[in-house]
Amino acid sequence: MLEWLLEPLAFEFMRNALITGILVGVLCPVVGTYLIVQRMALLGDVMAHSVLPGLAIAFFLRVNILFGAFVSGLLSAFLIAWLRSQTRIKVDAVMALIFSSFFALGVLLITLLRNKLDLDSFLFGDILGVTLTDVGRTVVVTLLILSLVKLFYKELLFYTFARDGAEAIGLPVNLIYFGLMAAVTLTIIASMQTVGVVLVVSLLVGPAITAYLFVKELHQMMVLGAIIGVISSISGMYVSYYLNVPSGPSIVLVGFGLFLLAVLFSPNQGILTRPEMVDRSTRIFRQLKDLRRG
Amino acid sequence: MLEVRHLSVNYRGIQALADVCFKLAAGRLVGLIGPNGAGKSTLIKAILNLIPIREGQVIYQGLPLKQQRQQVAYVPQRSQIDWDYPITVWNVVMMARTAHAGWFHAPSRTSREVVKEALLRVEMFGLRDRQIGELSGGQQQRVFLARAIAQQAELFLFDEPLTAVDKKTEALILEIYAELKAQGKTLLISCHEWGEALNHYDRLLLLNQRLIANGSPIEVMTLENIQCAYGVCPQPQRFHQSKETMYFC
């Protein structure tokens, strides 16, 4: 068993991938928690797809592709916020349109600019390609975002709970929105190598909503979410290594498995374990026993 | 003294408020009434500068209110709040202390004391560790009342605080209005009540896009004003028996 666990660690790429996976496993649920409580989970997906045009242009201009991705992701968030405030179109429809349009633009640009960008690895993650530079970048992004969350925790809590209330006491709500969107974009960029942009929303949302079924405070959701995120990441990597399948889908499916378990068995909210269900099953069981006796 | 001068608000091309002017004196309980869609919530949000104002000014103690937002405690409508948010009663009330603590600082001991006092006042201290979704409607309203108290503000804006609350909470809310009034605070409360209940207020503002009437309940609740605001002639009903006056409500 131990050998089975240690074997992949002999490879440098696997060590790098695991470190990145652990960092992303912590980072995604923390940032994702803020999206979920604002009912903006799908925004993660939108922004993940929206980084593509930026990637293509930056690759073509030979500037840092992550800078391009960052600008492009933020642009989509602003476009959504702007359309939402200026028209009566509901946010889900705006998001659907922006997400597909940015993605389409990205695919078009990659073809037109004859980029040698490996689309597949960006879309689904490629642990073979995780370099030390990638690890370094993920460390920086993770530490930066976690420190900012710690520093501005009470302001972010107020903002995500009641935007109007936060604005009423004079908190800079637009700046906070910008900061959150920047954090989401950076998180997506940091996760691109391990899970890929198509699947990163799952890591943003999955572990955090699994945690949501167990807790009653926001910080608990983040901490438990991070633990679940790390478990999903590491298990997914091993599945990916031994079954020779892409890492993104493996991580996502392990996360989904844990979510299903929580939905069924969470002490207060589990479908099979919540107090009224336990009462009902005990009653049915007792009736069956009586029947047998009778 | 809160002064609202010529306030006009447009919402997506429709005029929501037109040239609203009034003054609120300290130590007064003022009710804001009007039909659904009259712009009561819009007026409260415009005073707080939460929505763009087309024209007008909101002045508090001689300065624009938006420069002194710590002075205002705002209780939003129940429907504006996500009751499934993972937060406990204690931390909702602690939010009132966000501005007092300042950036980068955890709440001080004073803040914790103030929060505790506020929760004791609304009889919710025992439930401080409950997630807010696990409370009854009245208890939820009391948590937000505690938050407003804990903010130690001068001006209180409540958006329909008596909607869907039990009798006990209603009585408690009215007691707290009286206490705040006695402390010289300024209170503006948008409300849905009718008849006798309106006598709790020192003044009423009757709104329907524009300010139709502004005065004591007796002055405001005249047939003419009500017809003007609601566009219908309501059934006459005895409004305030002690003064043997007939009002229409």
* Cβ separation A161–B87 shorter than 8 A: yes
Q: In angstroms, rounded to a whole number, what is the distance separating the alpha carbons of residues B249 and B244?
A: 15
> Each residue of A52-67: pLDDT tens digit?
999 889 888 988 878 8
The count of domains in chain A is 1
Average pLDDT over residues B147-172: 91
Higher-pLDDT residue of B116, A277: B116
The predicted structure's pLDDT at residue B245: 39
Q: What angle do CA B236, B20, B220 make, to 5 degrees?
A: 20
Q: In angstroms, rounded to a whole number, what is the distance separating the alpha carbons of residues B188 and B160?
A: 10
Domain B27-40+70-248 in CATH 3.40.50.300: yes
- What are the boundaries of each domain within chain B? 27-40+70-248
> Each residue of A236-272: pLDDT tens digit?
989 988 998 888 888 999 999 999 999 998 887 788 8
Give the rounded percent of residues in chain A with a pLDDT score beyond 90: 52
* CATH code of the domain covering residue A288: 1.10.3470.10
In total, the C-beta contacts within 8 angstroms joining chain A to chain B are 76
The predicted structure's pLDDT at residue A179: 94
The SS3 assignment for B122 reads coil
**Is the pLDDT assigned to residue B64 strictly greater than 60?**
yes
Query: How many Cα atoms are found within 13 Å in the side-chain-facing hemisphere of B32?
Result: 28
* Cβ separation A216–B88 shorter than 8 A: yes
Question: Is B87 in the A-facing interface, judged by CB distances under 8 Å?
Answer: yes
* Cβ separation A37–B86 shorter than 8 A: yes
Least confident of B13-17, B148-152, B229-233: B229-233
Q: In angstroms, rounded to a whole number, what is the distance separating the alpha carbons of residues B145 and B158?
A: 9
Residues of A in contact with B70 (CB under 8 A): 169-170
Residues of B in contact with A157 (CB under 8 A): 87, 91, 95
* Cβ separation B76–A164 shorter than 8 A: yes
> Each residue of A152-169: pLDDT tens digit?
999 999 999 999 999 998
The SS3 assignment for B46 reads helix
ipTM: 0.85
CB of B170 closer than 8 Å to CB of B139: no
**Dihedral of the alpha carbons of B212, B164, A156, A69, in degrees to the nearest 10:** -80
Which residues on adjacent β-strands are paired with residue B235?
none
Å between B68 CA and nearest CA of chain A:
8
Mean pLDDT of chain B: 86
- Tokens 């050998």 locate to A3
Show the tokens assigned to A193: 């190598």
Mean pLDDT of chain A: 89
Q: In angstroms, rounded to a whole number, what is the distance separating the alpha carbons of residues B155 and B73?
A: 6
Average pLDDT over residues A190-201: 84
Of B86, B98, B130, the CB nearest to A154: B98
Q: In angstroms, rounded to a whole number, what is the distance separating the alpha carbons of residues B58 and B8?
A: 11
Q: Is A219 exposed, middle or buried (0-12, 13-18, 19+ CB in 10 A)?
A: middle
Give the rounded percent of residues in chain A with a pLDDT score beyond 70: 100
